[in-house]
Structure 1
């Protein structure tokens, strides 16, 4: 039986439309007003696909909620944070934030590039020695980003864009940045970072989500069992700035090459733990070829939830919530006490602009900064 070409085209178009509709039916995007910052409207965007729901605001690119099931299917929020944008403005240890221009610390708040010394804000003071932390006084976590939502293959995405002008927070060059948050078919939050510049400048973008796989406000993370795929780390001084050495984790409390509870050795007598008040260090990932690879896996026994961090970055900062002290009350109305959340920040190494033996973080005109990281959730 012959089918007219026009009829065939209609059938094909109908099938494609039906397929697209079927894919988009699995996911959704919505948004609601979240306040005003610097005279600009801020929204809260909700991305859902399957059993994963994520809330993100275009103020600071902050992930405010991650809703995932436990092993029994009960949904729970595993991200620390607040209920309103004004709380993030008033006081936050970077809960869920998009970090830049430079994630982590830069020694003495300065670096030299092409013969010129650039001075930055000293907005962090570990060990009584000032340094630049997470981009300065007003980093990317404190600005309003342009936002665009769309579906890609039925999967919801939020693209955030921002122009960091030449001299902002002391950094050179007009830096055009795009960060896209996308949900994946296997319960992941994929973060794709991209940037270009008209002057050479350091760039090191990351996300600073605080996790508790028992649930936000559920207490200590010390019972979480973690594995980091890294044989080495970068030791720090009392100022939490890397010494420049790359040291083996073997025989130290920093050895997470096999699964071990976060709290099992955190109180050990070790100079590095004393400097950080616990874990607040950069692990040198075994995968150094720039491909997407598994960097860390965290399992919480009571809920059965598992978090995997996949990244193209060479480093991973594990921070164990050492500076949480009960003074911050989160979404559930419960105070966040010492070590009630942990961060796993994919990155280039801290203070790389001042460390010649570390992988370079300098982006030059004509180059494109591109990197991706995925937070993936499972149960067992």
Structure 2
């Protein structure tokens, strides 16, 4: 324990002394990160004109790092991650920063019926053990003067994880000069299939792995999805008013977290259901001054607080993880939608194009 604390302190000291780079031209760099079954894994670094950075590997279309400035213009890594590909391949990697699909979150009993045919899946969560997060994606660099981007593409073949249709998915990660990280999703299929795609980044705006209890969160949602102990939706929407799940006004995450039992793991039905890009949530970390605004075209926001983390999990720079040490803000359609006719449609058919956009915008309060 003492060694872990010392390592964590050293890492924090090093991080605190990293200042934002001087303004310059946006850039993309690439380094070798490892190898899987003869396939090279690379880490790409997007850097904008003010020095903010986003790092991505082509394994799992994973965001490994987001370096954003605090109120003193010092860069800090505001997402949880690991130091090596070996760790991302290990059992302690709970989808950190990864793309999740072809159907993210839950499907009751690992089965659904589509056009009169029943499909059986290897798991009831995150599409099973070989989902998007375990695949090697093709990457194309997209340079620019106002923004830089990475275009990642993966073909999920007919029958993969039990799903019908050859699904071609493209995810574009764009870093703008306004400190926005844009996630743009596009997919097409040759057979009808459910599609629910998200990203599973674990944010900690303090730049550490400490508990996120003092982070102030606001969610533009008056209702949440009723669910059982396994977080499987019943199909009903409940009011947040008068519950520990009410973030309609800014509230510290830690204020009511004990009343939830194990922590937040909840699906919010966002007030905006137009399909147009709109603000969904705002998180503010008072010690660093960092602000994260989440915009999305999706109707649902999953809020998760790293309830399964513990000190035995060692992350980047030797820092151990902590229960309630992260905040996931996953934008997507409702969980178990293929089995819930009252939920918004998630079936993609031939000739149609699945499109979705989420923006994580970083700023500071002085």
TM-score (norm 1): 0.88
Give the deviation of 1:249 after TM superposition: 0.6
Q: Which residue of 1 aligns with 2:194?
A: 202
Q: Which residue of 2 aligns with 1:188?
A: 180
SS at match of 1:353: helix
- Equivalent of residue 243 in structure 1, options 234, 237, 260: 234
Structure 2 alignment gaps of length 5 or more? 1-22
Change (3 A) 1:138 1:216: farther
SS at match of 2:89: helix
Map Cα deviations across residues 180-226 of structure 1 (whole Å, 9 max, x no partner). 00012310110100000001101011110001111133x11011000
Number of residues of Structure 1 aligned to a counterpart in Structure 2 = 341
Do the aligned residues in 2 keep the contact of 1:166 with 1:172 (CA within 8 Å)?
yes
Q: Which residue of 2 aligns with 1:351?
A: 336
Give the deviation of 1:166 after TM superposition: 0.2
Q: Which residue of 2 aligns with 1:228?
A: 219
SS at match of 1:267: helix
Q: Does 1:144 align with 2:165?
A: no
Q: Which residue of 2 aligns with 1:118?
A: 119
Q: Distance in 2 between matches of 1:154 and 1:347?
A: 28
Q: Which residue of 2 aligns with 1:315?
A: 300
Q: Which residue of 1 aligns with 2:327?
A: 342
Q: Distance in 2 between matches of 1:38 and 1:364?
A: 33
Give the deviation of 1:332 after TM superposition: 1.9
Q: Distance in 1 between matches of 2:327 and 2:283?
A: 10
Q: Distance in 2 between matches of 1:327 and 1:206?
A: 27
Q: Which residue of 2 aligns with 1:33?
A: 32
Structure 1 alignment gaps of length 5 or more? 1-23, 123-131
Q: Which residue of 1 aligns with 2:41?
A: 42
Q: Which residue of 1 aligns with 2:66?
A: 66
Q: Does 1:267 align with 2:258?
A: yes
Which segment drifts farther, 36-45 or 367-376? 36-45
Do the aligned residues in 2 keep the contact of 1:202 with 1:363 (CA within 8 Å)?
yes
Structure 1 consecutive aligned stretches of length 4 or more whose deviation exceeds 6 Å: none
Do the aligned residues in 2 keep the contact of 1:216 with 1:332 (CA within 8 Å)?
no
Q: Distance in 1 between matches of 2:278 and 2:145?
A: 23
TM-score (norm 2): 0.91
Q: Distance in 2 between matches of 1:117 and 1:58?
A: 33
Q: Which residue of 1 aligns with 2:14?
A: none
Do the aligned residues in 1 keep the contact of 2:205 with 2:288 (CA within 8 Å)?
yes
Q: Distance in 2 between matches of 1:282 and 1:358?
A: 13
SS at match of 2:122: coil
Q: Distance in 2 between matches of 1:316 and 1:300?
A: 20
Q: Distance in 1 between matches of 2:28 and 2:276?
A: 30
Q: Which residue of 2 aligns with 1:19?
A: none
Do the aligned residues in 1 keep the contact of 2:24 with 2:51 (CA within 8 Å)?
no
Give the deviation of 1:153 after TM superposition: 4.8
Do the aligned residues in 2 keep the contact of 1:51 with 1:187 (CA within 8 Å)?
no
Q: Distance in 2 between matches of 1:152 and 1:203?
A: 30
SS at match of 1:357: coil
SS at match of 1:121: coil
Give the deviation of 1:135 after TM superposition: 1.8
Q: Distance in 1 between matches of 2:230 and 2:309?
A: 19
Q: Distance in 1 between matches of 2:86 and 2:178?
A: 33
